Amino acid sequence: MSFTVKRSIFVHDFVNLPREDFNCNIDLDISDSSGIFILEKQSAGTQTKYLLTVKDPSVVGLTTSDQLVVERMIANLILSMNLHLSRTCISLTQWGILGSSVAREKIEGKGKIDLAEKKGHVKLVDTIVLKDKVIVTMGTREEISEKSALLTHNNVLKTMRFKITLGTPLKIVNLAKALDEYEDAMSTFDRFQIFKHLFNTIEFCTNWVGTSFSGTKFDEEASAITKVPQADILDWRDLYNRTKHVDQTPMHVSKFVVGIERISSIVRSVRKASQTAILNRLASI
């Protein structure tokens, strides 16, 4: 059976996350393309909308047009592409604003008419409400290797992350959890949630065979698979602890405040580290 898969996807800047007053115009190019998957830019806004087309789904392991199976294939392909991007994210989720409904009171103009009996002058004074809104648009360009994305996609398929069973090897279960965390980070629009998802990714990859490394031992093991200095792993671990535990000392507060101030640069580094950890583990299964 021959068929083609088409799906709308949404691309946004990894650091300058979608928000009401910010638009992004992202050019996402495919290098060394053989046409296995095609990205067609459709519109720019809070996210840049693309149409993803897979002309021959069998090339990416899809042999049925069942809707659930197709959606999972697309999710794996998008995840694999995100593992090779640094400045942008691809998401199946469209950003939206959830907020309260606000009813504004209509402001009536206050007019005054002055009629002079002989001169016939008419004087009108009115109140006019002016509103202004500024939207900033940022252009970003990034390139993704079709060859690299497809190689990673094939490795992701080996985890069968949507079909975990009691018989699935422990390290595959933990690697699947790491993939889920990374995937969530790419579709989340809050920096601290992104950081937590990415740090969880590193933790699952570090302890994937069932170990429970913590403290300095965790820093050492995580450093080995991420190629990140142990001092940086320690800083991330301290910040992660501050996001989920009560601050009990001024030092705790200091670590949390410093983390807030540096979160944009931190998430960039943690993303790169989590990519290295996942690709390291995928290559060894």
pLDDT tens string 221-251: 999 999 999 999 999 999 998 887 677 788 8
Mean pLDDT, residues 33-61 = 92
Q: Decide: 259 and 244 in contact? Cβ < 8 Å.
A: no
Return the number of other C-beta atoms located less than 10 Å from residue 250's C-beta.
8
pLDDT recorded at residue 139: 72
pLDDT recorded at residue 18: 85
For residue 255, pLDDT beyond 90: no
For residue 204, pLDDT beyond 60: yes
Flag whether the pTM goes above 0.75: yes
Residue 83's pLDDT band (boundaries 50, 70, 90)?
very high
The number of C-alpha atoms within 13 Å of 129 and in the hemisphere containing its C-beta is 8
When mean pLDDT is compared across 1-5, 139-143, 188-192, the lowest value belongs to 1-5
For residue 101, pLDDT beyond 70: no
pLDDT recorded at residue 266: 93
DSSP string, 177-235: HHHHHHHHHHT---HHHHHHHHHHHHHHHHTTTS----HHHHHHHHHHHHT--HHHHHH
The reply to whether CATH 1.10.3470 applies to domain 164-285 is: no
Q: Which run of H or E residues covers position 240?
A: helix 230-244
Q: Is residue 137 classed as helix, strand or coil in its secondary structure?
A: strand
Q: Where are the domains of the chain?
A: 1-93+134-159, 164-285
Q: What pairs with residue 11 in β-bridges?
A: 48, 90
